[in-house]
Amino acid sequence: MLNNSTISNKQHLIVFTRYPEPGKTKTRLIPALGAEGAANLQRQMTEHTLSQVQKLQAISPTLVEIRFAGGNLQLMRAWLGENFIYQPQGAGDLGQRMEQSLGNALQNGAQKVVFIGIDCPGINAEILATAFKNLDSYDLVIGPAVDGGYYSIGLKRYIPELFANIDWGTATVLQRTINIAQQLSLSQVQLLPLADVDRPEDLPIWESR
């Protein structure tokens, strides 16, 4: 597999995840799974997502950065290995953390930046490859989640407005982002919609992957 030391950062994929510490991750699933079970699901879903990321790397050189919450650098490397860049997510709401990550990637020479989380079992290498390819033609590429959010967003320049004044975690995130893009006259395209796993009623999505 290609690793980050041998590829350029034309394509820069940023994965947001959390160290699977019981009681501090997938908390909305604790009533159904218990603290240990919810943390184990976080672990499995992260590893599943990264297996698809590695398939992407095999077909299209991509620099992969993992932005993590909880744990520390040593724990993350021991868990997921040495073939990724690791950075703490930092302070602020989700939008502020994504905006800072985007700015850092572009400052470091990235030409296309795509963000994903680890909550959508349906994400795969083909969808990720499509996201990067679409950035050749569009300012904004977005992967809609069926709950009204988005599972992926791709950009090739710094547009902080897309991450400001959004009620994260609500059913308005996708539409609000699209509205901002329209106000900024950004060309945009959507990827396939996917379902994510946040609540107990979502568990069959993971079990049927």
Angstrom distance (rounded) from CA 172 to CA 149: 7
| pLDDT confidence band for 156 (50 / 70 / 90) | very high
pTM, two decimals, is: 0.94
Domains of the chain: 11-197 (3.90.550.10)
Burial class (CB in 10 A: 0-12, 13-18, 19+), 77: middle
Instruction: Tell me the per-residue pLDDT of 56-90, one tens digit each, with 9 for 90 and over.
Output: 999 999 999 999 999 999 999 999 999 999 999 99
Residue 203 is which amino acid?
A: L
Q: Residue 67's pLDDT is what?
A: 98
Looking up tokens 């602020």, which residue turns up?
A: 92
**CA 171 from chain center: how many Å?**
18
Give the model's confidence band at 3: pLDDT under 50 very low, under 70 low, under 90 confident, else very high. very low
Residue 5 pLDDT:
42
> Residue 134 phi/psi, 5° resolution?
-65, -25
What per-residue confidence (pLDDT) applies to 9?
A: 63
Task: For 28-59, give the DSSP string.
Answer: GGHHHHHHHHHHHHHHHHHHHHHHHHHHHHHH
Give the bridge partners for 16, in sequence order: 67
